Structure 1
Amino acid sequence: MRKIRFIKYIILLLFVLTLLGTNKPSFAISYEEILQKTISSYKNLKTFSCILEVYNKAGNNEENITYEYYFQKPDKIRLEIMEGKDKGTIIVYQNGRVRYKKGGVLSFIPLSLNVDDPIVLSIRRGRVNELSLEYIVDILTKYNPQSIKEVNILGYSCYVIEIGDSRDRLYNYSLQRIYIEKNNFIPIQLEQYENTNGQNELVHRRVYKNFKINPPIDEKIFNI
């Protein structure tokens, strides 16, 4: 009798485990494939443009800035502030140096600055070139994901890659969340969280909106 009950228990346990297994999300693509397709997409990228929305938090300070963003390989970046502090300011990064042209009445005076000059650092001391897609691809290649999901965001169908404890040049993160557009395998959003009293606190978010892959770009826009 005990043997029969034990067999029934095993059968029931196997049935429950099977049901639990069917509730797990299944993907027709592995993380390795997502990573390789994302790397390949970036390698094939020559130019890129978008509206870039950036949120930063450092202590009690916060900033929200919207840029018109242009990129040309190997490392040219042009940012023009559309919304936020110093609206109208143009920042150009190239070869480890920055050209800075402040919006407003001083717009006729461009400055040549080091990439770590406080004028062109975010409140989290992030550099201009760290707003690039390459920065995100680098995260993906360094860390294994703790989960993969699928969501629709900004009208795009995306894979969401969640990475646990990790770091970049300056900070440790308890969670990084990367949204990769499923058709072109382009990262379109990054969220970074720090552990604050046991909770994940958002400290950085960037969203690449209305992006264009390999659009024609006049090189003159990188000369200011």
Structure 2
Amino acid sequence: MKPLNYQKKIKHHFILFLSFILLSTSLSLGISIDEVIRKAQEANNKVSTLYSILEVYNRIGNNEEYITYKFYYQKPDKIRLEVLEGKDKGTIMVYQTGKVRYKKGGLLSFIPLSLNVDDPLAISIRKGQIPDLTFDYIIDLLINNNPTGLKEIAFLNYNCYIVEIGNSRDKLYNYSFQRIYIEKNSFLPVSLEQYEDIKGKRTLVHRRIYKNLQINIKIDPQIFEI
């Protein structure tokens, strides 16, 4: 066994090396991770309404789901999801104050239901709840975990900073790696990727992409009614 003081030196040198890498990255990009996170928080605080075509992928075990939504959000707590593609196409869910109004697509569309937010009909296969699809969830990930890297990339029609996070967690799961894509002009999140180590391999278990993003638009109050 290595002496304790030797282990401490190794740990100290590793921390210095990691700090050097983060500093070098910040200098090359002209912005630090902390500044990106701070500006993302500020940008999110200025969002009052949001509309997007939201593409979501989830995996748990061998089960996968791909769903595309029309996503409407009005602070502090109104959300409407319309399923455009994927399981239960045509279904509409409206979330407000911890409750969900649910109207299934197809022949039963005339029968709306009132559900708890954790009802199996209202959650993903990874037990993600409707409020977890907002920017607030992503900002919490940035604040409550320790980012390890920052990059620039062109992503779809966005120019982005990618904030990388190593071993981390949310309220349900541990992740081996996460990527958060922050649009460079608005400093708002446009995508999230979450990975777990499965049989020694980094495996994507959740991805979301906010497309056609529109911020602070007027939304008809009837949108949040079923």
TM over 0.5: yes
For the pair shown, which has the larger CA radius of gyration, 1 or 2? 1
For structure 1, the residue ranges without an aligned partner over 5 or more in a row are: 1-20
After superposition, give the CA deviation of every residue in 1:84-108 in whole Å (9 maximum; x if it has no partner): 1111100011101111000111111
Inter-partner Cα distance in structure 2 for 1:223 and 1:155: 32
The secondary structure found in structure 1 opposite 2:147 is coil
Per-residue deviation, residues 61-85 of structure 1 (Å, max 9, x unmatched):
1000000000000011100000011
Match of 2:6 in 1: none
* Alignment of 1:112 onto 2:92: no
| Unaligned 5+ runs, structure 2 | 1-22
Amino acid across the alignment from 2:175? Y
Q: Distance in 2 between matches of 1:73 and 1:140?
A: 20
3-state SS of the aligned residue for 1:105?
A: helix
Give 1:163 deviation, angstroms. Answer: 0.2
RMSD value over aligned CA atoms? 1.5
Q: Which amino acid in 2 is paired with 1:125?
A: K
Partner of 1:204: 206
The residue number in structure 2 matching 1:137 is 139
Alpha-carbon distance between aligned partners in 1 of 2:206 and 2:218, rounded to the nearest angstrom: 30
Aligned length in residues:
204
Counterpart of 1:128 in structure 2 is 130
For 1:63 and 1:137, the matched residues in 2 are separated by: 24
Q: Deviations over 1:175-209 (max 9, x none)?
A: 01100000000100000000112221000000000
1:178 aligned partner, one-letter code: I
Moved beyond 2 Å, runs of 4+: 21-25
Query: 1:179, 1:114 → 2: CA distance?
Result: 31
SS in structure 2 of the partner of residue 221 of structure 1: helix
Taking every aligned residue pair, what percent have the same amino acid on both sides? 59
**Deviation at 1:144?**
2.0
1:33 paired with 2:45, answer: no
CA distance in 1, matches of 2:202, 2:148: 15
Structure 1: distance between partners of 2:179 and 2:24: 25
State the match for 2:176 in structure 1.
Answer: 174
SS of the residue corresponding to residue 124 of structure 2 reads coil
Does residue 206 of structure 2 align to residue 221 of structure 1?
no
1:50 maps onto 2:52 in alignment: yes
Task: Kindly indicate whether the alpha-carbon contact (under 8 Å) linking 2:26 and 2:32 is maintained by their aligned counterparts in 1.
Answer: no
The residue number in structure 1 matching 2:13 is none
Question: Counterpart in 2 of 1:190?
Answer: 192
